[in-house]
Structure 1
Amino acid sequence: VLRAVMQEVLEAEMDEALGASKSERTPERLGYRSGYYGRTLVTRVGKLELRVPQDRAGRFSTELFERYQRSERALVATLAEMYVQGVSTRKVKAITEELCGH
């Protein structure tokens, strides 16, 4: 579940960076997607295999973790705690976006 929430946040960050969701055509679009690359984060709850979206220009950078970061920070622990406490994945996503400055 933690992986799913983090994956949703990555997708939302990419949508925001490009000004459009996947396959959406708008005049405000700032770029295009270009697949994914794999990233493994080592957390207290185990390894998380994430698919990080890429844009064609190579400018997208997530706020969830730093460029070469391979282990978690307090964010992952906080996300896990929210889930354990029964917070919905939608609320966890909103809180994560707030923490990351979106």
Structure 2
Amino acid sequence: MTYQNDFTLPSELLEQIASEGLDFIPTLIEILINAAMQAERSKHLRAIPYERTVQRNGYANGYKPKTVKTRLGELHFEVLLPEEDITGIYRVDVQFMRSVIAATEFTIITR
């Protein structure tokens, strides 16, 4: 079983943050939430995308676009849709995602 444990930001993103400042924050939030959902799916399925293993718990089934309106503007996410797996139904916890965004907004606005 292989998981991607390196969640550091690529240098291209860091350069974009430095050049655009706070205007880049909505895009950064989209990237981080999408990466977190992919990591969550990989953990649930017990395999990274395209990995074949006997421990695999199901299969991925594409993406569904999701738009969330926030104070920072509309954020666009790619919600992952795995097929029903052996142990039960996987669902993305959108409520958790909204609470993370709200906490991030609060932190940004109050500083």
Amino acid in the other structure paired with 1:14:
R
Q: Larger relative contact order (C-alpha < 8 A, sep ≥ 6)?
A: 1
Deviation digits for residues 63-83 of structure 1 (CA, Å, limit 9, x no counterpart): 3x23xx9x933x11333547x
Q: In terms of Rg, which structure is larger?
A: 2
The correspondence for 1:60, drawn from 90, 94, 110, is 90
Please list every run of 5 or more consecutive structure 1 residues that lacks an aligned counterpart in the other structure.
86-102
- Alignment partner, residue 35 of structure 1: 62
Between the aligned residues of both structures, percent identity stands at 24
RMSD of Structure 2 on Structure 1 (CA): 2.5
Q: What is the TM-score with the length of structure 1 in the denominator?
A: 0.65
- Quick check: which one's helix share is greater? 2
Q: Which amino acid aligns with 2:38?
A: E
TM-score (normalizing by structure 2): 0.60
Q: CA deviation at 1:26?
A: 1.2
Q: Is there any run of 5+ residues in structure 2 with no aligned partner, and where? A: 1-27
Length, aligned pairs only: 78
